Amino acid sequence: MNYLSNVAKNYPASAIRRMFELANQYEDVIKLTVGEPNFETPDYIKEAAKIGIDENLTHYVSNAGTDELRQAVAKKYTIEFGEEYTPDQVMVAFGGMEAIMLALVATINPGDEVIIADPAYPNYLGQILMLGGKAVPVPVYEENEFKLKAVDVEKAVTSKTKAIILNSPSNPLGSVLNEKDIRELAEVVLKHNLIVISDEVYEKIIYDDEVHFSMAQIPEVKENVLIINSLSKTYAMTGWRVGFVIGNKDIISVMPKIQEGVASCVPPFIQKAAVTAINGPQSVVEEMVTHYKRRRGILINGLNEIPGFSCINSAGAFYAFANIKEFKKPSEDFAIELLNEAKVAVTPGSAFGKMGEGYLRFSFANSDENLIEAINRIKSYVKKNY
């Protein structure tokens, strides 16, 4: 008997995790694979969770999330976007990934097409597959600063297109869509009445003169947009698993019953910590971004000094997407070589889609010392072998 479902058999394995696990088999490896802040959760946030436990915030709460957290999220967006958001437009989730899943479950039917960038975060593919949808990759190009272009999205729209997933700042590309880019994409969305699932988990991690702009800030298209956000990257809370969806309240209203059948509710003491993070001092975020910016320079400048490597500057998030096409070798093979010979773990660009071939993704969410040592190791390896 075949016990496995088609979804289980066909679910795409994560090459990011595969490289991470391979790296764990070696000693003295510098891991620039998984996108996780190398900072600890700020003490005042941890203290709030401890207080929550002492207050016995350890029981079931509303599937949609606590009133306090939904109010905090609504207030955040009301202030930042200058347009009122209310708690009934907020759904609390187990991190950004469950938030995306809730958005997809609430909107996608079998056979519906969902447009994604190529390269893109690979977990989108598995989630769309589970629902019987079809992911439609739209190429993004280095010469366009790895930005998804409206003209290319328009070409991909069919009668079956239901939604588009946007991700800015981008994982794995480090690109940021500016207001002009977003407004051009919004015209396509309005023309075809598409749902927009806007993954904005890196919204606060931007550099230089970049400004985060959400499609939800455009009044004409606001009701089409479901913003996905999480506390994981912004506040170094990856293991806490708390995020949210905010947007069209008619869509949000069905999510609590979906959550009831999946995971009930995010633990209330964790939600208390999330409230403290959102309402508390944001200087900790600014400090982390300052470190990321310095580390970006260390990594990208260092890579560009290595013959055969070419890397444009990242505008946001904490990733560098380096071009290695001069080596004329599949990105996965090259990544495994770096692991075996240089003891540096990176993610092959092919893990993020067909257009990622010929690239490597580096995470610079690491220490200055490790980044400098990684560059030295790669430089020595390339000099010896190429």
Mean pLDDT to the nearest integer, 148-168 = 99
- CA-based diameter of the chain, in Å? 61
The pLDDT of 143-162, averaged and rounded, is 98
pTM of the model: 0.96
CB 244 within 8 A of CB 253: no
DSSP letter (8 states) at residue 377: H
**What is the per-residue pLDDT for 16?**
78
Which of 351, 380, 345 is CA-nearest to residue 366? 345
Q: How many residues does the chain have?
A: 386
pLDDT value for 360: 98
DSSP 13: P
Distance (Å) of CA 245 to CA 106, 132, 157, 227, 265: 11, 22, 25, 6, 14
How much is the pLDDT for 13? Answer: 79
Q: Helix-strand-coil percent breakdown of the chain, rounded to 5?
A: 50, 15, 35
Q: How high is the pLDDT of residue 105?
A: 98
Residue 22 — pLDDT band, cuts 50, 70, 90?
confident
d(CA 311, CA 327): 14
Calpha distance 380→346 (Å, rounded): 16
Contact indicator for 346, 32 with CB cutoff of 8 Å? yes
* Domains defined along the chain, listed by start: 6-41+283-385 (3.90.1150.10), 46-279 (3.40.640.10)
Instruction: Summarize the confidence of residues 40-49 as an average pLDDT.
Output: 98
Classify residue 196 as left (phi > 0), alpha (psi -120 to 50) or beta.
Answer: beta
pLDDT in tens, 357-386: 999 999 999 999 999 999 999 999 999 998
Residue 166 CB coordination number (10 Å)? 26
**Coil, strand or helix at 151:** helix
**CB-neighbour burial class of residue 134 (10 A; exposed 0-12, middle 13-18, buried 19+):** middle
Spatial CB neighbours of 233, under 8 Å, sequence gap ≥ 6: 35, 37, 201, 202, 204, 205, 317, 318
Could you report the per-residue pLDDT of 77-125, keeping only the tens digit for each? 999 999 999 999 999 999 999 999 999 999 999 999 999 999 999 999 9
The average confidence (pLDDT) of the chain is 97
d(CA 68, CA 185): 34
pLDDT band, very low/low/confident/very high, at 15 (cuts 50, 70, 90): confident
Give the amino acid at 307: P
* DSSP-derived pairing of the beta strands 243-247 and 225-230: antiparallel
Per residue in 168-194, pLDDT tens? Answer: 999 999 999 999 999 999 999 999 999
Contacts of 330 by beta carbon, 8 Å cutoff, 6+ apart: 348, 350, 357
Indicate whether 142 pLDDT > 80.
yes
